[in-house]
Structure 1
Amino acid sequence: MSRHSETHLMMRVGWLRAAVLGANDGIVSTASLIIGVAAASGDRSAILVAGVAGLVAGAMSMAAGEYVSVSSQSDTEAADLARERIELASDDAGEHAELAGIYRARGLDAATAATVARQLMAHDAIGAHARDELGISEFTTARPIQAAIASALSFTVGAALPLAVAALLPQAGIVTGVAIASLLFLALLGAVGARAGGAGIGRPMLRVTFWGALAMAITAGIGHLFGAVV
């Protein structure tokens, strides 16, 4: 008999979300900052200092923000699992009935649902309830450190791209050059993120590029409006 094998990408969801968010934020925020300062007639040194400061501050902020937010999710998961353990210890019959009810709602007949619930709880009661009642699995469980590292690293890489373009271009071409290059970087990010997640690349590329273009346009407009470094 041939062995049926499938490749699923849900195991990537934790770090992939954080990485795409970090890279997108790095490109958009740093490019917007550079464009805003350049549009406000800032000199090259001011543009580059602002870009470097934005990269460092943004990477630290992304790491801290991801760690804190995903830790909150982890704390909630841990509290729910602790509550479930108490319920399993105090009302075993009720927990069997609850799990069987979940399986009946998914299409099993009453006898089969009861049998499945009994066998799964005999094997791993808390695992069965975590997965089928609470929706917690090994693929979706919160991993704060992984999310923080992925977000900080991807932000740094994303922010370094428009900063490098600004450092290489003459001052007169910074606004246009950084804007065009950043849109290309965003389109590439959308394609890479979609490919890593196993999705089509068209809509993700368009989505990421559109919102990045809007953010940079607004920032450039503010720089022109106030005529001062923002």
Structure 2
Amino acid sequence: MPHTRHTSEVHHSHRAGWLRAAVLGANDGIVSTASLMLGVAASDAGHSALLIAGVAGLVAGAMSMAAGEYVSVSSQADTEQADLRRERAELDAHPIYEHQELAAIYVKRGLSPALADQVAHQLMDHDALGAHARDELGITDTLSARPVQAALTSAATFAVGAALPLAVALIAPAAHLVPTVSGASLVVLTALGGLAARAGGAPVPRAALRVALWGALAMALTAGVGHLFGTVL
């Protein structure tokens, strides 16, 4: 019988938290800043006004992303901690019931009652709260909420993303500013969508196309609004 070499399976769930924040931050940085600058450009504002709008959008957007992520993920973390405190109290007050509850979970997953009881007993002897957090509450170290990490990642990636259209606007000729900024932004958005999909183990073409289409729609709508108000005012 030929020898089969065992290779470790590759999973991507451990990247979920930071990957979500990073992709959201960079994508929003590019789309919102590029759209803002294209809207200003379409209103026939001067180049200096365009750059001021871009810088203001970068700073305001980065702070908004950081604050939003921190508040949102902090709420999730507070909920997780409250659940863990409640579970710890229940383990202290009703250990037999908690053991039966954990065993019942394993029976539902396909173990025989006897084996489920044995597994629950051994896991609770090792780490009762950890076993209940993982199998009853769905809380793990890999997927637990990290507010500071999410906030810093979102702010940093937003700033990096927003810096792209701003840099293009600095070097692009005034006559070709709109197509250059929009084109460069769409190229990077497409690459970002594909990179995020690859890092997360998802299909690359669909993710890249999805990001590019939404980015193009946002820039087109904002440019249209800028042109309309620039004409009226």
Aligning the two structures, in what range does the TM-score lie when normalised by the shorter sequence? over 0.9
The offset of 1:52, in angstroms, is 0.5
Identity %: 66
Which of 81, 86, 89 lines up with 1:86 in the alignment? 89
Tell me the amino acid that sits aligned with residue 190 of structure 2.
A
| 1:169 is the counterpart of 2:168 | no
Distance change in 2, residues 1:216/1:71 (3 Å): same
Name the stretch that deviates more: 164-173 or 3-12.
Answer: 3-12
Q: 1:194, CA displacement in angstroms? A: 1.2
Aligned residue among 11, 32, 35 for 2:14: 11
Counterpart check, 1:184 vs 2:178: no
How far off its partner does 1:66 sit? 1.0
Pairing of 1:150-229 with structure 2 (within 5 A): 150-227=153-230
TM-score by length of 1: 0.95
Residues 19 and 150, structure 1, Cα contact 8 Å, conserved in 2: yes
1:227 aligned counterpart, secondary structure:
helix
The code of the aligned residue for 2:69 comes to E
Deviates more, 1:108-117 or 1:47-56: 108-117
The 5 Å alignment of 1:1-230 reads 5-227=8-230
Q: Give the secondary structure class of the aligned counterpart of 2:89.
A: helix
Which ranges of 4 or more aligned residues in structure 1 deviate by more than 4 Å? 1-4
What TM-score, normalized to structure 2? 0.94
**Distance (Å, rounded) in 1 between the aligned partners of 2:62 and 2:231:** 25
Provide closer, same or farther for how the CA distance between residues 229 and 31 of structure 1 changes in structure 2, counting only shifts above 3 A.
Answer: farther
Kindly state the Cα deviation for residue 16 of structure 1 after the two structures are TM-superposed. 0.8
What letter corresponds to residue 199 of structure 2 in structure 1?
A
Cα distance, 1:73–1:228 mapped onto 2, change above 3 Å: farther
- Matched position secondary structure for 1:42: coil
Give yes or no for contact 1:40–1:227 (8 Å, CA) kept in 2. Answer: yes
1:36·1:229 contact (CA, 8 Å) conserved in 2? no
- With 102-111 and 42-51 compared, the bigger mean Cα shift is at 102-111
Structure 1 residues 171 and 4 mapped into 2: Cα distance closer, same or farther (>3 Å)? closer
- The one-letter amino acid paired with 1:81 is L
Pairwise CA distance, 1:7:
2.7
Instruction: Structure 1: give runs of 5+ residues left out of the alignment.
Output: none
Shift of 1:199: 2.3
User: In structure 2, how many angstroms separate the alpha carbons of the residues matched to 1:161 and 1:126?
Assistant: 46
Give the unaligned 5+ runs of structure 2.
none
What CA distance in whole angstroms lies between the structure 2 residues aligned with 1:73 and 1:174? Answer: 42
1:109 and 1:77 map into 2 onto residues whose CA distance is: 30
Tell me the alpha carbon deviations over residues 21-74 of structure 1, each in whole angstroms, 9 at most, x when there is no partner: 000000000000000000011100000000011001111111111111111111
Cα RMSD (Å): 1.7
| Partner SS for 1:199 | coil
Mapped contact 1:40–1:229 kept (Cα < 8 A): no
Deviates more, 1:164-173 or 1:202-211: 164-173
Q: Distance in 1 between matches of 2:197 and 2:7?
A: 26
